[in-house]
Amino acid sequence: MSAVTETAQAAKPARTVSLRGGATQKLLAFASLILLVLFFSLASENFFRFDNLIGIMLSTAVIGVLALGSTFVIITGGIDLSVGTVMTFSAVMTGVVISFWGLPIPFGIAGGILTGMLCGFISGWFVARMQIPPFIATLGMMMVTKGLALVVSGTRPIYFNDTPGFSKLAMGTILGIPYAVFVFFGLAILAGIVLNKTIIGRYNFALGSNEEATRLSGVNVRNWKIAIYAMTGIFSGIAGILMASRLNSAQPALGAGYELEAIAAVVIGGTSLSGGRGSILGTVIGALIMSVMTNGLRILSVPQEWQIVLVGLVVVLAVYADILRRRKK
Amino acid sequence: MDIPLVLMEGIEKSFPGVHALKNCRFELRAGEIHALVGENGAGKSTLMKVLTGVYRKDAGTIRYKGKEVEIPDTKAAQQLGIGIIHQELNLMPDLTAAQNLFIGREPRKLGGLLLDDRRLYKDAEKLFRQLNLNFSPDTKVGDLTVARQQMVEIAKALSYNSEVLIMDEPTAALTSAEIEELFRMMGQLREQGVGIVYISHRMEELKRMTDRMTVMRDGSYIDTLQTADTSINRIISLMVGRELYVNTKQAAPRLNADTVLEVKGLSRGRAVRDVSFSLKKGEILGIAGLMGAGRTETARLIFGADRPDAGEIFVHGRKLVIRGPHDAVRHGIGYLSEDRKRYGLMTEMDVRTNIAVSSYGRFRSAAGWMRDASMDENAERYVDSLQIKTPGVHQIVKFLSGGNQQKVVIGKWLTRDCDILIFDEPTRGIDVGAKTEIYKLLDELAAQGKGIIMISSELPEILRMSHRILVMCEGRLTGELSGEEATQELIMRYATMRITEPDAKHA
């Protein structure tokens, strides 16, 4: 701008900490989590115990990591239906590297993560370059990876019996807490940093908020979108390794349906399926709410069939509460 | 005489079927506010889109500070220092103002690994201070008023060191106080030597704020004038100045006919404010006004597509509660949207289905099966009577021409026995020959006793067709004219009549 008058002494805009919007939703979700924990603790003395709480965390880990990854794609306004089976395929590839090829564990880990990333990259490429709707592109990827997992493994589980260290990856403990729990929370912190502090995170929100405006601002929208899908793939790969380690085997038939639970966790956490809004903290809380509910209901001897019904209702109610709150504004 | 900041000469631009810009000329000096005026469709926006690289010119030259330049895309315009604030804002509502300002060029730290949000907000605050904006740059854009969103757009455009700023109808959605804020900012920028192109229909604003004016009409350059020496009447006559169509309508307004529709005090937000009028049997009531005057919004309220804040609607003297389009349709009101493809037709389906869709109940057998034969028969009747040019009733609608698609929509509402028809821009995107046919059809429908409301931005069309004309501006009815007394000048006068009002205070 040419020759700007610096004399203008406008009132210095106060930096307000924006407690609106996302923050209240997170607070709300967090309060619901606390309420649930309180409720189950009062309802059964078996709930609020160290080993049960650890059990909840452990069962959150795999779905939680998938949900972390899904958060990125969902904030762009897209969806990734393939995270569950990409996880399975990544687990199988880890098994192939370690058990079939006999390579050391780190190679297996790299193989699993690369598999996930490649799958995400391909989905992203179809979405961004070929303009295939995310629902379709990732539905295709879901089926392809489901099939490939069976093909590569010969439809049988791959066991890690020759590498006893592998199961330690998820199940080794510090202070009685399994590594998988640390991995989940560690990844959550990392995902939070990526989403809020890095350029890819910023474009992630921008894309979901108004893709055309982002494009007109000179951002290479396509490439960033591909990168975001690839990142979601990386999280699926890590989830696959955790899963395989926990079961000490890569189960090629497992994994379908996990993507929906992951999406449910993301949505309970207040991330908008229409894009532009969302948070990692919300997703973590969402994932915890789901496993607290499942665990608590099981302790109260609610039949598993009814557990599913109740979780389904919670998903819808959580989103409705968000819509109500938004409408009031 | 110093070199103009921008000089466009001999600009030509054609789209399939339309010669949008014909030998256009435009000159902008540094430190001036230059109005670009003309009727809807005169080519103002197209010309500015050529300047900002959204469209590529077919011929002509653009000189920037005396040097000839090519502007192949929006990025090139940005680099030259030409910024535009579009009519529809181009922001990301979920990001903060500061994040929006620097999208695509965020400051970074740690070797580019992390975003440097402290610097981002510091830079944004600096920019805000320079522009005297007194709200926080870390507010989410979606939480800002439209006026402030606009300020963010302006700040964004200026942060590219823009020396040319194009504003396309910036005041359309603002209150008087917000407009004052905008004007203060424009004055400040002018002093700093920025050249501002200001597109607006509001004559008083143009008189007050601009230094010069360029008038366009039908894609051609008409004249550039000193604002101070030019009267509003002179500008309007230059804008309109084409040959008037001969008024061919024969039917006189039927003064003693029954009132079919009456609207009292209809209001919705700022878009529609206290609108009252009535429509008689066999009457064509034209509603004129500029874009954003609230005409379509009024029609949508009558049709039940939106809920009014206040107001009553009477059909044949009976008060109606219209909860949604289904209620309106049940009472014989049909609405023909200006955007036929989106709101009027199922373009992937055939003619017969489109004509039948609002009256499916009639084409159903007692057992619930659809009776294809009677749908065919009905469609064929309207293909005949409306002279829809189609190879058959099974033709997919998207393969028909615009005029024939419009006739299919008319057929749909006639099948439903609607006696009140609201036409929103009935001839938009329809070629000249087909227009005459649509006009004839409207006349015939009126002669059969239908009550017709016709919303149109084309003044000759309004003048030719209407028995009576309502003029709207900013959500209000500002004038009512009989078909005889109406002239283009008079309509434009009412259509630009802004009513100053004490401001609704809203954060």
Query: For residue A38, is it within any domain?
Result: no
- CA distance, residue A241 to nearest chain B CA (Å): 27
- Residues of A whose CB is below 8 A from B145: none
- More confident site: A75 or B156: A75
With CB atoms and an 8 Å threshold, state whether B75 touches A210.
no
Share of chain B above pLDDT 70, in %: 92
Predicted pLDDT of residue A66: 96
State CA A145 to chain mean position distance: 18
Q: What is the mean pLDDT of residues A8-36?
A: 58
A16 interface with B at CB cutoff 8 Å: yes
Residue in A closest to B142 by C-alpha:
A209
Radius of gyration for chain A, computed over Cα atoms and rounded to the nearest angstrom: 21
Nearest by CB: B130 against A4, A14, A210: A4
- Give tens-digit pLDDT for A234-287: 999 999 999 999 999 999 988 888 999 999 999 988 888 888 889 999 999 999
A23 interface with B at CB cutoff 8 Å: no
Query: For residue B103, is it within any domain?
Result: no
Predicted pLDDT of residue A213: 83
Please check whether residue A269 is in contact with residue A261, taking contact to mean a CB–CB distance below 8 angstroms: no
Tell me how far apart the alpha carbons of residues B129 and B125 are, in angstroms, rounded to a whole number: 6
Query: For residue B213, is it within any domain?
Result: no
- Give tens-digit pLDDT for B193-220: 999 999 887 777 888 889 999 999 888 8
Domain containing residue B326: CATH number: 3.40.50.300
**Tally of domains in chain A:** 1
How many contiguous H segments (helices) and E segments (strands) does chain A have? Answer: 13, 4
Tell me how far apart the alpha carbons of residues A50 and B53 are, in angstroms, rounded to a whole number: 64
User: Are β-strands B259-268 and B310-315 bridged in parallel, bridged antiparallel, or unpaired?
Assistant: antiparallel
Share of chain A above pLDDT 90, in %: 61
Among A136-150, B239-253, B327-341, B430-444, the minimum mean pLDDT is found in B239-253
Residue in A closest to B90 by C-alpha:
A213
Query: For residue A6, is it within any domain?
Result: no
Q: Where are the alpha helices (DSSP H) in B226-350?
A: 232-240, 295-303, 325-330
Q: pLDDT tier at A25 (50, 70, 90 boundaries)?
A: low
Q: How far is CA B458 from CA A9, B125, B427, B476, in A?
A: 48, 45, 9, 19
Tell me how far apart the alpha carbons of residues B303 and B326 are, in angstroms, rounded to a whole number: 9
Which of A150, A110, A149, A146 lies closest to A241, judged by CA? A110
A175 interface with B at CB cutoff 8 Å: no
Query: For residue B262, is it within any domain?
Result: yes
- Residues of A whose CB is below 8 A from B94: 205, 208-209, 276-277
Domain boundary among B373, B400, B418: B418
Share of chain B above pLDDT 90, in %: 24
With CB atoms and an 8 Å threshold, state whether A202 touches B94.
no
Predicted pLDDT of residue A12: 38
Domain that holds residue B410: 347-418
Q: What is the mean pLDDT of residues B16-30?
A: 86
B309 and B434 fall within a common domain? yes
Tell me how far apart the alpha carbons of residues A294 and B502 are, in angstroms, rounded to a whole number: 58
- Residues of A whose CB is below 8 A from B192: 1-5
SS3 state of residue A159: strand
- Residues of B whose CB is below 8 A from A21: 140, 143
- CA distance, residue B75 to nearest chain A CA (Å): 7
Nearest by CB: A14 against B92, B136, B159: B136
Among B177-186, B237-246, B393-402, B444-453, the minimum mean pLDDT is found in B237-246
User: Are β-strands B310-315 and B318-320 bridged in parallel, bridged antiparallel, or unpaired?
Assistant: antiparallel
- Window 236-255 of A: residues touching B by CB (8 A cutoff) are none
Q: Terminus-to-terminus CA distance in chain A, angstroms?
A: 37
With CB atoms and an 8 Å threshold, state whether A13 touches B128.
yes
B374 and B426 fall within a common domain? no
Tell me how far apart the alpha carbons of residues B322 and B422 are, in angstroms, rounded to a whole number: 16
Predicted pLDDT of residue B389: 84
In a mutational test of the B interface, the residue from A6, A74, A216, A277 whose CB has the highest number of chain B CBs within 10 Å is: A216
A11 interface with B at CB cutoff 8 Å: yes
Query: For residue A226, is it within any domain?
Result: yes
Q: Where are the alpha helices (DSSP H) in A154-279?
A: 168-171, 179-197, 199-209, 211-216, 221-247, 258-268
Domain that holds residue A196: 47-328
- CA distance, residue B25 to nearest chain A CA (Å): 26
Q: What is the mean pLDDT of residues B107-114?
A: 82
With CB atoms and an 8 Å threshold, state whether A1 touches B115.
no
Tell me how far apart the alpha carbons of residues B335 and B320 are, in angstroms, rounded to a whole number: 17
Predicted pLDDT of residue B84: 85
B299 and B433 fall within a common domain? yes
Among B53-57, B239-243, B301-305, B336-340, the minimum mean pLDDT is found in B239-243
The total number of residues written for chain A in this structure? 329
Return the top range by mean pLDDT from A85-99, B181-195, B428-442. A85-99
> What is the secondary structure of A40-102 as a DSSP string?
HHHH-TTTSSHHHHHHHHHHHHHHHHHHHHHHHHHHTT---TTHHHHHHHHHHHHHIIIIIS-
Predicted pLDDT of residue B244: 38
In sequence order, the β-bridge partners of residue B279 are B261
B407 and B437 fall within a common domain? no
- Window 101-130 of A: residues touching B by CB (8 A cutoff) are none
Residues in contact with B256: Cβ distance below 8 Å, sequence separation at least 6, in sequence order: none
In a mutational test of the A interface, the residue from B84, B94, B109 whose CB has the highest number of chain A CBs within 10 Å is: B94
Q: Which residues of B65-100 are buried (b: 16+ CB within 10 A; e: fewer)?
A: eeeeeebeebeebbebbbbbbbeebbbbbbbbbbbb
Predicted pLDDT of residue B314: 93
- CA distance, residue B369 to nearest chain A CA (Å): 33
B424 and B498 fall within a common domain? yes
In sequence order, the β-bridge partners of residue B479 are B471
Predicted pLDDT of residue B429: 66
Q: pLDDT tier at A180 (50, 70, 90 boundaries)?
A: very high
B406 and B426 fall within a common domain? no
Predicted pLDDT of residue B484: 82
Nearest by CB: A206 against B95, B130, B188: B95
Tell me how far apart the alpha carbons of residues B446 and B483 are, in angstroms, rounded to a whole number: 15
Domain boundary among B418, B452, B478: B418
**Tally of domains in chain B:** 2
Predicted pLDDT of residue A19: 38
Please check whether residue B495 is in contact with residue B292, taking contact to mean a CB–CB distance below 8 angstroms: no
Domain boundary among B418, B435, B462: B418
Domain containing residue A178: CATH number: 1.10.3470
- Residues of B whose CB is below 8 A from A209: 92-95
Backbone torsions φ then ψ of A77, nearest 5 degrees: 90, 5
B430 and B471 fall within a common domain? yes
Tell me how far apart the alpha carbons of residues A36 and B424 are, in angstroms, rounded to a whole number: 54
With CB atoms and an 8 Å threshold, state whether B90 touches A213.
yes
Return the top range by mean pLDDT from A110-119, B13-22, B352-361. A110-119
Nearest by CB: B115 against A13, A198, A213: A198
Q: What is the mean pLDDT of residues A106-125?
A: 96
- Residues of B whose CB is below 8 A from A4: 130, 192
Query: For residue A42, is it within any domain?
Result: no
- Give tens-digit pLDDT for B40-97: 668 888 899 899 888 889 999 999 998 999 998 888 888 888 988 876 678 898 999 9
Residues in contact with B311: Cβ distance below 8 Å, sequence separation at least 6, in sequence order: B263, B264, B265, B266, B267, B274, B275, B301
Predicted pLDDT of residue A178: 93
Query: For residue B464, is it within any domain?
Result: yes
With CB atoms and an 8 Å threshold, state whether A209 touches B94.
yes
B352 and B447 fall within a common domain? no
Query: For residue A199, is it within any domain?
Result: yes
With CB atoms and an 8 Å threshold, state whether A14 touches B115.
no
- CA distance, residue B267 to nearest chain A CA (Å): 21
- Residues of B whose CB is below 8 A from A193: 114
pLDDT, mean over chain B: 84
B391 and B408 fall within a common domain? yes
SS3 state of residue A197: helix
Q: What is the mean pLDDT of residues A172-176?
A: 88
- Residues of A whose CB is below 8 A from B140: 18, 20-21
Predicted pLDDT of residue A114: 97
Query: For residue B108, is it within any domain?
Result: no
Query: For residue B225, is it within any domain?
Result: no
Return the top range by mean pLDDT from B228-242, B253-267, B276-290, B483-497. B276-290
Q: What is the mean pLDDT of residues B498-502?
A: 56
SS3 state of residue B48: helix
Residue in B closest to A219 by C-alpha:
B104
pLDDT > 90? residue A204: yes
- Window 36-75 of A: residues touching B by CB (8 A cutoff) are none
Tell me how far apart the alpha carbons of residues B420 and A315 are, in angstroms, rounded to a whole number: 45
pLDDT > 60? residue B253: no
- Residues of A whose CB is below 8 A from B29: none
Query: For residue A100, is it within any domain?
Result: yes
With CB atoms and an 8 Å threshold, state whether B106 touches A202.
yes
Query: For residue A260, is it within any domain?
Result: yes
pLDDT > 90? residue B298: yes
Q: How many CA atoms, within 13 angstroms, populate the side-chain half-sphere of residue A89?
A: 26
A199 interface with B at CB cutoff 8 Å: yes
Predicted pLDDT of residue A67: 96
- Taking residue B262's Cβ as centre, other Cβ atoms within 10 Å add up to 17
